[in-house]
Amino acid sequence: MIVSELKFLLNQRLTLKQARQTHAAVLVHKFHHLQPLLVHQLLVSSRGYSFDLLQYVKSILRHAGSPDSFSWGCLIRFLSQHGQFREACSAYCEMQALGLCPSTFAVSSALRACARTEDIVGGRLVHAQVNKYGFSGCVYVQTALVDLYSRLGEMQTAQKVFDEMPERNVVSWNSILFGYLRLRNLDMARNLFSEIPEKDVISWNSMISGYAKAGDMKHAGELFQQMPERNSASWNAMLSGYVDCGNIELARELFDAMPQRSEVSWIAMIGGYSKCGDVESACLLFDQLGKKNLLSYNAMIACYAQNGRPTEALQIFNGMIECGLEIVPDKITFSSIISACSQLGDLKLGSWIELQMEKLGIEKDDHLATALIDLHAKCGSIHKAYELFNSLKKKDVVAYSAMILGYAVNGKAVDAIQLFEEMADAHICPNSVTFTGLLTAYSHTGLVEEGYRSFNSMKNYGLVPSADHYGMMVDLLGRAGHLEDAYNLIKTMPMQPHAGVWGALLLACRLHNNVEIGEIAARHCFKLDPDRAGYQSLLSNIYASVGRWTDVKQMREAVEEKASAKIPGYSWVEST
């Protein structure tokens, strides 16, 4: 009688509270055989993972009259499915310690957990048990092994397991295909793909995205045309392929042609516009996107931050917090937001952001720490920046560049140059941003020879100096009084020099009071950046230094004319 009542209860969706009551009944009446049903129901009906739930289930399992393998298997599978990989692994170990024989789904879930955490040691341990318990004939377990070694990049082992499988399903094929594609081994992948007896949409999608990631849109497109049925992931793989190779027009064509656009499509498209600097189009899409989630907010915030519009990045961030949907920012949001604070030079805001991160329990990974290095360096706390730099698990080119630039803008040129050498010793290849930092450092020290040498060394790394790099060299040469050399360098530029380059030359001419070159530089500045009055003042000062008062007067009038031409109230609008 009570058994049927309990069974009825257990087949309902149970809350944690109801489960505790049922559990009490189970204990009182020693219906231990119902415990697996209880655990199973609890996990199946739960809305998701929570710490309380885990603790409760574990307490049932630990105090169960007889340890039972089925319940442990349910728990491990549940944890593995809900991304709690570490917990899944430790539950697996605990079950082992109880002397229980694992089920096939406990083993495959444990393998999945090891694969996702890239736990090679744990994975091999479970693998050893697979043979011991005689799961060599189980497709699911064997497929999980193929998946494990594929994710770890150990393709020889993956292939061996795959070859020895007594039977395979399409998931087994997809798992090994995934492994070769991850290693960018397109030849192997192509051969394998052609051998798959019954390709499903995932096989096709994996292959398409493999080609797309390798930049081979021709083959990707061919497969896309050939495939029997497409889902939104197929379209998205093509879309992000075009985005990655910078073909935003084709990406947009695809976006407009898609039968159904998913959240992913919108975000990929916004990211595409962001990368090619078309902020307006990105913004337009974002506004058209009806209900926004964390990832679409992240994409738009990143778009503004990466395109030098920090204020708008912060506005979107505020909009996200106050939208009423209770979207919680994650480490990706904060990476962009910290970058925005840095661009604004706002350490106060930055500190507030750091506090929010602590409150949310967001751990500082290397990505975030690098953003913080930049923030602290730009705001003058160079020691804090170096502390963060030292705390990095792995120092990559981005981290080094941030730190080198940090030293450079804080006038610590010697430290910047030293760090650059340290980076070379660590066999990390510099890129163009690294050289921005290094050249900034040289231009602060006035070490012309060394600066010039490092500028010329860029090509040894396969780097082409940008207009900004030329600008820094002009600044370095100019400040040191080599005005002719600076002017000649501009003349050799393969691209159109922008106002900043001529501005650096003009500034140097003011420092050394050179009228002849100063006039040339000023003429270009007027033309390239007609809205700014600063250039006229500089030239006027140069004229004054040599007593050409008529020209001085003419320049001053030009400055005043500009000032009065401004729309009244403009600066008020700008400051609100």
Partner DNA sequence: ATAGGGTTAG
Identify residues 365-424 at the interface with DNA (CB under 7 A): 366-368, 370-371, 374, 396-399, 401-402, 405
How many of the other CB atoms lie within 10 Å of CB of 484? 12
Assigned token pair, 165? 């499988």
Q: How far is CA 476 from the centre of its chain?
A: 35
Q: Taking the complex as a whole, how short is the minimal distance between the CB of residue 191 and DNA, in angstroms? A: 19
Q: Taking the complex as a whole, how short is the minimal distance between the CB of residue 121 and DNA, in angstroms? A: 19
Between 299 and 447, name the residue whose CB sits nearer to DNA. 299
Between 286 and 487, name the residue whose CB sits nearer to DNA. 286
Per-residue contact string for residues 510-529; x = within reach of DNA by CB under 7 A: --------------------
Among 120, 214, 245, 264, contact with DNA (rule: CB under 7 A)? 264
Q: Which of 125, 39, 131, 129 is nearest to 76 (CA)?
A: 39
Contacts 24+ apart (CB under 8 A), 356-361: 356/329, 360/328, 360/329
Rounded CA separation 56/51 (Å)? 9
Q: Taking the complex as a whole, how short is the minimal distance between the CB of residue 355 and DNA, in angstroms? A: 19
Q: Is 443 in the site for DNA (CB under 7 A)?
A: no
Assigned token pair, 146? 């193929």
Which residues from 12-41 bind DNA, rule CB under 7 A? none
Among 72, 85, 149, 178, contact with DNA (rule: CB under 7 A)? 178
Among 40, 219, 331, 532, contact with DNA (rule: CB under 7 A)? 331
Rounded CA separation 276/242 (Å)? 12
Rounded CA separation 148/123 (Å)? 7
Name the one range near DNA by CB under 7 A: 6-14, 282-290, 295-303, 478-486: 295-303
Q: Is 307 in the site for DNA (CB under 7 A)?
A: no
Between CA 445 and CA 558, with CA 503 as vertex, the angle to 5 degrees is 140
Between 145 and 525, name the residue whose CB sits nearer to DNA. 145
Between CA 265 and CA 277, with CA 271 as vertex, the angle to 5 degrees is 140
Between 368 and 539, name the residue whose CB sits nearer to DNA. 368
Q: Taking the complex as a whole, how short is the minimal distance between the CB of residue 218 and DNA, in angstroms? A: 19
Rounded CA separation 220/225 (Å)? 9
Among 41, 71, 336, 410, contact with DNA (rule: CB under 7 A)? 336
Q: Taking the complex as a whole, how short is the minimal distance between the CB of residue 99 and DNA, in angstroms? A: 21
Between 145 and 448, name the residue whose CB sits nearer to DNA. 145
Among 64, 267, 441, 508, contact with DNA (rule: CB under 7 A)? 267
Between 231 and 418, name the residue whose CB sits nearer to DNA. 231
Q: Is 71 in the site for DNA (CB under 7 A)?
A: no
Name the burial class of residue 520, with classes exposed (0-12), middle (13-18) and buried (19+) by CB atoms within 10 angstroms of its CB: middle
Cβ neighbours for 63, distance < 8 A, ≥ 6 positions apart:
none
Rounded CA separation 63/58 (Å)? 9
Between 136 and 169, name the residue whose CB sits nearer to DNA. 169
Number of residues that bind DNA (CB under 7 A): 78
Name the burial class of residue 551, with classes exposed (0-12), middle (13-18) and buried (19+) by CB atoms within 10 angstroms of its CB: middle
Cβ neighbours for 183, distance < 8 A, ≥ 6 positions apart:
153, 155
Between 61 and 337, name the residue whose CB sits nearer to DNA. 337
Q: Taking the complex as a whole, how short is the minimal distance between the CB of residue 4 and DNA, in angstroms? A: 27
Q: Taking the complex as a whole, how short is the minimal distance between the CB of residue 560 and DNA, in angstroms? A: 38
Rounded CA separation 556/196 (Å)? 78
Name the one range near DNA by CB under 7 A: 8-16, 171-179, 380-388, 568-576: 171-179
